[in-house]
Every structure is written in C-alpha cells, then in structure tokens.
Amino acid sequence: MTLKDGIEREINRIISILIRDQTKDGSWDYTFETGIATDAYMIILLRTFEINDEMLIQALVQRIAGNQEDNGSWKLFHDADEGDSSSTIQAYYALLYSGYVSKQEPRMRAAKKFILENGGIERAETFTKTLLAMTGQYTWKSLLPLPIEIILFPLSSPLNFYDFSVFGRANIAPLLILSHFKYKKTTSRTPDLSDLFARGTNTEFEHRNEDWRNLLTSMKDQLKQMTDKPADLKRKAVRAAEQYMLKRIEPDGTLLSYFSSTFLMIFALNALGYTLKNPMMVKAINGLRNMAVQIGDDLHIQYTTANVWNTALISHVLQDAGVPWSHNVIQRANHYLLSRQHTQFGDWVLRNANTMPGGWGFSTINTINPDVDDATASLRSICELTEVQPNYQQAWTRGIKWILSMQNDDGGWPAFERGVDKKWLSLAPIQGAEYLLLDPSTADLTGRTLEFFGNYSSMNKEHPAIRKGVKWLKNNQRKDGSWYGRWGICYIYGTWAALTGMAAFGKSTIDPSIKKAADWLRSIQNPDGGWGESCKSDIERTYVPLRDSTLTHTAWAVDAFIAVSDKSTPEIEKGIAYLIDQGEKEDWTNNYPKGQGMAGGFYIHYHSYRYIWPLLAMSNYRRKFLGQ
C-alpha cells in the first residue's frame, strides 16, 4: 500500500469514528481524564457530609484501587520514577473513608509504608494538606497564612486578590473562608490518619513561608489602619469572599465549572452556615456528581467537561479533512458552538474594560470564563459559515475583537486574562504557585493565535499585533530551538504551536528561528518514525524523551514540519507512516497524558486527541504535498 493510499484509509477511518461519536446536541463529549484525585476527593466529600451514595462510592473505590502500583503508591503518569506522595495520601484516605477497605489489607499497609518513607503527611502538597485540615486530620496553623482581608486589598496594593489568576482566585476564595474559620468537619466514620505523620520538616518551605507571612502581615497592618474596627473588616472580607463565589456559579451549580473550586466552595458554604438542604449546596454537589463518566469498567469524576474544546477542534479538523461545512455533522457542531459563545462579562474585563464579550469557554456549561485557545478553535470551526450566514458573521466579528484585545503588552497571548504575571508570586509557598497564581503569555497560546490569524483571517504580517506576537515567540525560544508549551506536554507541543504560528505569516526554514526549531525536532525523532515526550519535561523544565512514540506527539511534530517545509521530507514521511501504521494501536501510550494543569500535580489525558491531531496532520500533508 502506498503512503497516499494509507493516508486516505486512515483519514476515512478517523472521520467515520468522529461522525459516529457526535452527541445529539452536536458536541463531542470525549472524556477529560485526570488521574484519581477527583475520585478520592468525591468519596471524602460524600462521606464527610454523610451522603451515602453507595453505588457511586463503590465505583470510585474500584477505580482508585485498580490504579495502585505494586509498591503501594499511586503515580501521576506511566513513566514516573516512583509514586506520588500526595496522590497516595489522597487515595489511602479515600479508600479508608469509604468503609470498603481496611487498614490491615496488604495494599493499604504498602501504601502507608510508601507515605512514611517519603516524608509522611508533612511532605504533602498544599491542597492535600488543606483537604486534611478541613476534615480534621491536619492543623490550619501549619498551612499558608493567607489572611481573608487580602480580598479587600486595593488594586493599587503591591499584592491584591486580582493579582492571582482567575483559576487561582476560584480556589483561593473558598480557601480564605475555610482558613478564616479554621473549618473542621468530622463524622463517626472519619479515619484516623495520625499514624501517617513522619515528624519531618521542610526548612526551605518554612523559610519561604516566613517571608510570605511577613509580606502579608505588613499589608494586613496597612488595612487595619484604615479602620478602628478590625472585626468589622473581617466580616466585610468574609462577605466579599462569599459573594465572589456566588457570582461565579455556573448553571449546573459548579464554581466556574472546576471540580476543585466547587469542592472547596461546598465546604466554605457549610462554614458560612449553609446546610445540605440549601438548594445551592444541593446543586453544587449534583454538579460534581454529573462530572462522572464511564471509562471501560471504571467510573471517573472528571475535573471538568471538555465539550466546547473537543467540538471546536473536531469540527475544524473534519472540515480540514474535506467534510464540507454544509454536512449535517458540521452544521450541528457549529450550531452548538454558536450557542456557547459568551455574552456575559467575566473577570477578564477587569484588565480589558473596553471590550465586549466574544470568547468561548472550555466546558459545556461555561458561561463567564472564556479563554483564548477555545476562542480561536471555535472561530476556525465556524470560519466557512461566516460567508453565508449573518449570525455566524456577527459571532466571528465579536470573537476576533475579543481575541485581539486579550494580547498582553509583551506581545504574547495568555489563556484567560491580560496582565496577570507578577512573577514573584511564583515564590509563594504553594506547590505549583507558578501555574496556580499566574497566567502569563505562553508559546502555545501565542503560536496558535498567530496560526489562526494567519490562516483564517485577512490580517497580514505587518499588523502590529502580529509583529508583536512573532517577536515574542522569537524572544522566548529556548537555546536548543524549542518552545515550552504551558497547557500540553510540553516542548514538542510548544514548538509545534510556535512553528505553525510563524509559518502562517510566511516564515519557513530560511528563518534562523524556524531552522533551529526544525533541527531540534528532527534530532528527537524516534527510530520508529514517531515522537514521544515524558511528563517529566514539565517537572524538570527541559525536554525528557518518553522513549516510546505517541500518536499525539507524532502528529504535532509532523504538522510542524509540514507547516515550515516547501516539500515533503524523510522525517515527515516517516512520521506520517507511523500515524498510518499505529492509528489503531491500543497500549499505554494512548492513555498517557498529553495535557497538563500544574507541573508535578495535575495531568490530563484527552480521549479525543488520538483522533484530532493525526487527522489534522494527515489532512495538511495531503493538501500541501499531494494536492488534494
């Protein structure tokens, strides 16, 4: 079979799968899978509030137990050198609290041994310790001393609540309430985890914690000077934190559609006196329940849904592969996307006051938290319809204006908000502070935005926004030629986004930056023709090979080469051959995370990616080099 025949066969196979999997509302609801943390937290939530949903609890126990390693730990990804301490604590706690697993079972003794050998509860990350404090297993005084008054700090203050990213704020607002009240809720079934303390210390953390405490104390003192009634100030701050949450609840009851923020909000509302009979509490808990999805024989609680993201990408790549915009599957998908364009103002307007809403969010029920990547993906999908249907033209115009307005002053694009990049906040004594608290310009967002403008709009390379964006990419290229991608794994992803973005404005391998990046990609191609990158790259902040190829990483690398090459090359053809030959393979590489939320703590397996990116790469190859 020739390469051309193989491409045709594989493109048609993937198209048929995607058409089959479209849901009734026109979207694709492929799973957004994130390990066992959400499953563990859900068990603990249900048991803490004595909601005895035994079928759900038993199903989650099965999934958690089934992911345990031989040494008793739980890992974040396949090739991690050893288990993850925080994940193991979460799993151990949830299994015990479920009531279906005993401490005396060999697997639990092995888990306990692993936890203690790795520093005990003391070495857990901040949010695991917070979970433990909320449920009576840890002391609040040992956690980050963030005063609730911070929510009242003026925007002119060296540090204020809105210096944190919108994702950070969604989680910090309920944390402020819980910490203020030193909230603790136990039941007669609460396990005793006191035997998981190793009595160790973390000197570096304590030192940073002390510096952070001194800064916040000085700012807190400034606020006290503004009033002679500190108690009134605290009450005002509590009210402000409560209102921040309540004003950002999505139609399904979740806080900005995130599991973690909703989980914390439920406990925070309880601390404020809300009972389980309150409709808001009921709706929030049910919102988390509705995140449940079946994966094979297991049930998983998703961190969020990814329907808008999946649908925008799939509708676009189907059209790229030759499915006409008039086809029913595209019409339904784009109708769904049109209904999901935002009309409400979100927090993004605080630093972007002169722009109307026009973006798209990530999940199916997101209405006030749009992001640049979903916006450009949705506009790619509806592009063809703007010429024939006025309502799509209006959506297009609003979307373009919103995306342009989101460009940072440094020339790059962030995910959610402009100007949220006080780099010193990354020194906060919170694991993943850089990811939780900041929303800087990134190579992946900047590259993909440039690719959209170059290939789908009339904007030319002399437009100030484009010149600034390309300049940002060139200034942020690493010495080895790669770029770091914030929301994917990791350097292959970032390099693909940067190369396709610059190629959309005429850059080719003649350009030194492009050539350097292409040389780097070429140097890391595997003998089988594919590419693969480890999640360790994200932790070590340098490229770490996976040693095995994945469909997604291969598709990104091949698509990058296609974008910057005038003719097909051996590395392109070897990569395409890999995508054809391995398209139907079923092994651990298909489930390996290709996205990340926080280095060392939160990785994402997109079930849609094995179809989306190979289809895009093969379609682009066929059009550019086969003339089809």
Whether the CA torsion 500, 502, 508, 512 is positive or negative: it is negative
pLDDT for 601 beyond 90: no
Longest dimension (CA), the chain: 83
Write down the pLDDT at residue 569. Answer: 96
Q: How confident is the model at residue 500 (pLDDT cuts 50, 70, 90)?
A: very high
Write down the pLDDT at residue 144. Answer: 66
The token pair at 535 is 């999640």
pLDDT for 411 beyond 60: yes
> Is residue 133 in a domain?
no
Work out the average pLDDT over 497-507. 94
* Cβ 98 vs Cβ 43: under 8 Å: yes
For residue 490, cis peptide bond before it (omega within 30 degrees of 0) = yes
Q: Indicate the pTM of the whole model.
A: 0.95
- Strands laid side by side in the 602-606 sheet: 32-33, 602-606, 595-598
Give the DSSP letter of residue 341. B
> Is residue 472 in a domain?
no
Q: Which residue has the tokens 């698509």?
A: 559
Round the CA-based radius of gyration of the chain to a whole number and report it: 24
Q: How confident is the model at residue 229 (pLDDT cuts 50, 70, 90)?
A: confident
Cα separation of 567 and 581, whole Å? 22
Q: What is the tens place of the pLDDT at every residue in 261-272?
A: 999 999 999 999
> Is residue 70 in a domain?
no
> Is residue 417 in a domain?
no
> Is residue 172 in a domain?
yes
Residue 443: which of 487, 491, 484 has the closest Cα? 484
The pLDDT > 90 percentage for the chain reads 83
Cα separation of 622 and 624, whole Å? 6
Write down the pLDDT at residue 592. Answer: 97
Q: How confident is the model at residue 203 (pLDDT cuts 50, 70, 90)?
A: very low
Write down the pLDDT at residue 159. Answer: 85
Q: Which residues are 605's β-sheet partners?
A: 33
Cα separation of 151 and 132, whole Å? 24
Write down the pLDDT at residue 141. Answer: 81
Q: Please list, in sequence order, all residues whose beta carbon lies within 8 angstroms of the beta carbon of residue 221, skipping any fewer than 6 positions away.
A: none
> Is residue 30 in a domain?
no
* Cβ 569 vs Cβ 592: under 8 Å: no
Q: What is the tens place of the pLDDT at every residue in 82-103?
A: 899 999 999 999 999 999 999 9
> Is residue 206 in a domain?
yes
Work out the average pLDDT over 332-347. 97
Expressed as residue numbers, the domain containing 231 is 142-191+201-302
pLDDT for 433 beyond 90: no
Write down the pLDDT at residue 192. Answer: 95
Q: What is the tens place of the pLDDT at every residue in 561-585?
A: 999 999 999 999 999 999 999 999 9
Write down the pLDDT at residue 428. Answer: 79
Q: Which residues are catalytic?
A: 373
Give the DSSP letter of residue 162. G
> Is residue 605 in a domain?
no
Q: Which of 166-170, 218-222, 321-325, 455-459 has the lowest mean pLDDT?
A: 218-222
Separation in Å, CA 527 to CA 524, 531, 548, 573: 9, 9, 10, 13
Q: Please list, in sequence order, all residues whose beta carbon lies within 8 angstroms of the beta carbon of residue 299, skipping any fewer than 6 positions away.
A: 56, 59, 60, 62, 63, 292, 293
CATH number reported for the structural domain that contains residue 208 in this entry? 1.50.10.20
Alpha helix locations (H) across 27-74? 37-48, 54-66
Work out the average pLDDT over 39-65. 98
Give the DSSP letter of residue 247. T
Q: Which of 104-113, 215-224, 492-501 has the lowest mean pLDDT?
A: 215-224
Write down the pLDDT at residue 204. Answer: 46
Give the DSSP letter of residue 357. -
pLDDT for 400 beyond 50: yes
* Cβ 618 vs Cβ 11: under 8 Å: yes
Number of domains comprising the chain: 1
Q: What is the tens place of the pLDDT at every residue in 164-189?
A: 999 999 999 999 999 999 999 999 99
* Cβ 306 vs Cβ 363: under 8 Å: yes
Write down the pLDDT at residue 94. Answer: 98
**Is residue 33 within a helix (H) or strand (E), and if so which, with residue range?**
strand 32-33
Residue-averaged pLDDT of the chain: 93
Alpha helix locations (H) across 406-458? 433-437, 443-456
Write down the pLDDT at residue 223. Answer: 67
Write down the pLDDT at residue 82. Answer: 87
Work out the average pLDDT over 325-335. 96
Work out the average pLDDT over 239-266. 97
Backbone angles phi, psi at 103, to 5 degrees: -60, -25
Q: Which of 201-215, 422-436, 486-500 has the lowest mean pLDDT?
A: 201-215
* Cβ 562 vs Cβ 621: under 8 Å: yes
